[in-house]
Structure 1
Amino acid sequence: MSTITTEELAETTLLRFATAGSVDDGKSTLVGRLLHDSKSVLTDQLEAVERVSASRGQEAPDLALLTDGLRAEREQGITIDVAYRYFATPRRRFILADTPGHVQYTRNMVTGASTAELTVILVDARNGVVEQTRRHAAIAALLRVPHAVLAVNKMDLVGYDEKVFAAIAEEFTAYATELGVPEVTAIPISALVGDNVVEPSANMDWYGGPTVLEHLETVPVAHDLSHCHARLPVQYVIRPQSPDHPDYRGYAGQIAAGSFHVGESVTVLPSGRASKISGIDLLGEPVDVAWTTQSVTLLLEDDIDISRGDLIVPSKDAPATTQDIEATVCHVADAPLTVGHRVLLKHGTRTVKAIVKDIPSRLTLDDLSLHPHPGQLIANDIGRVKIRTAEPLPVDSYADSRRTGSFILIDPNDGQTLTAGMVGESFAAPEPVKDGSEDDGWDF
């Protein structure tokens, strides 16, 4: 592969993708193979992997070690944390999140896939689609990851049998389609040998589709949020103690979506106060327009009481504020989430008290049926919740904005993250029942 020049790198697009699958399906080996065969591994990294592999008595380098960097992972042979890797080809730049496969660490997949535009879900050709495969597909669907790749791995261990691949691809595609995954591309691979990862396989001439890298390089990427609903969660209010700027008051934050321009009418939520943008500072310099992911400071014409946690939006495109939120959640904590649970809800830069008023349903992964009113969600469960907040929040539907349509629930006692939620996402849960919990100071 040719060396990438600075000019070529600047012109390439960026793809964020995540890998997922059950334990020992070969995710780390696939990632290592991608990095190795695309010439994205530094010489000293490869030498370190070769030394560790040799110390274990392995003849060939264990490419999984390129991502399994934690000592505990190397000792156990499993991936625990989300391992991020950055690499590039002449056609595209990549941010890769290698997520854990063990059911105990499914919560980490939520983190890794939350910003992904594509998910690679691995399946061991010998085992086919298993429960963890279904769970990962359901999470990818909930997080609205627009593209999915089914990588049927270890084809060398089933004699490169086309019928084995076809049966797995058909089962998974039917399941993903039922979940609402818009696109599935199935690719037969052997990460250990290198078949169809970067180079086409000579062992599977019956397959005429792309390799994994070819698909990653060519899949359409539509993560331009500059045309979405404009949103700026306020992180900090800047009032410098300087005689040169005695009246300066700026509202700093990272634009979550959309764009803002000088002279635009804006509304501050949840207060509902309106003003106009009198100036925008970007890296200490005034600009006329700023857009998504840029960290900026907005200056307003009117002196409004604004603090961290407020949301600045265009007046013509302001979301409604509400204290009642219905959402689909993935519960990530070991302690269960129960009806009547008192929590903190973090949305953007704002954190408020909240109560879990009802858990209308829990999703059964085997057949996508709904278990009505389970009363609680345990670790790795996916379900519907109704939440009442102490203060009104300006929330978007997750379908409209993955940034301002999401939230997390936090344990107020120890600060542990309990649940990741997507506003408005639904598996057509049944109508909720009222809960008769007593008033103890949290009932809003």
Structure 2
Amino acid sequence: MSVFDVLQERGFIKQMSHEAEIKELLEKEKITFYIGFDPTADSLHVGHFIALMMMSHMQRAGHRPIVLLGGGTGMVGDPSGKDEMRKMLTPEFIEHNIACFKKQMSRFIDFSEGKAIIANNADWLLDLNYVQLLREVGVHFTVNRMLAAECFKKRWEKGLTFFEFNYMIMQSYDFWKLHHDYGCVMELGGDDQWSNMLGGVELIRRKDQEPAFCMTCKLLTTSDGRKMGKTEKGALWLDPEKTSPYEFYQYWRNVNDSDVKNCMSLLTFVPMEEVHRLCDVEGAAINEAKKVLAYEVTKLVHGEEEARKAQEATEALFGGAANNLENIPTIEITSEQTSAKVIDVLTTAKIFSSKREARQMINQGGLTVGETVLQDAEASLSADMFDAEKSLLIRKGKKKYFRLLIK
């Protein structure tokens, strides 16, 4: 089975520039390919995860990945699918984010000698001569073709700046540059990048008269089409400081039944026969698949030890023996705060985004302090609520646990 068959079976592939040629190429040759990542934050998030998994499957099959970090394109910002222009990032912010990305990616990609390449498009984009770029690259792009691109459609009402209009040319130039320097023949990426990726394929084919290809993976969405990876605190980050391993595990443990098979196929290396066995079930039996999904995804992102801790903490809590609290999110408070209002403490700790949200949940009977469902939104903590270890279990809704700990 070629990597093309693996990616197709697991549900990665969405669109291809030249399907028959790509299928034959991946069956018969070992190629160099790339995926670009713009450093818009100081951590990768779950939206990047599916691209990293696609890259990892390719590398395991003997193909060489190039991780292209967008030190140059990040100075502009991709307008694809955006209602308004992205915030301009400073060079210092971009450099910091690139360092964070490199560290996280080593969990998924083998960067040992000759196995993979890390490149930064700042190395060529920031020194480009604009007139030279227009003469060498701009002549291969027609404005009417670019304006028809799907990635710009959301911007017609608010207006698309000329600044952002250049992004497609920059990304296309990246592919041409990697093709020229490393023999890269294929770009992979999320399906929202389709228009930009086609630009690079067409540039190489027109400018160099050489074969080039692109293939998109589907975006991580729920069965009803909504984007996955959003939590109450925002994005589901791969950085444990931004999303703890316990919270990360809980996200996957609690996905909808209808999304389990898709997530397990895309985000784990569990063999597909096992995926079918675990997921092609009815009723409560799907919970076993959810446990496997949560453990396997957390293990890939945070390591086996953190996955085990999250699993043990979850089993202790949901098994009714809430005596193993050290691995759930902990909020440290001072002894003075043991007499503060519950909603003040939890809002300050960002468990609730506002006191209004906290009051609403309390009024609905959704906040449990210790073993008591809180009835009074103005209730205060008291020292006698805490156990001998100076901790107090808080449950928000049915499935989210936190621990207050007196420092």
Say whether the fold is shared (TM-score over 0.5): no
Looking at secondary structure, tell me which structure has more strand per residue.
1
Higher relative contact order (CA 8 A, sep 6+): 2
TM-score by length of 2: 0.27
Structure-1-length-normalised TM-score: 0.25
Q: Choose between structure 1 and 2: higher helix proportion.
A: 2
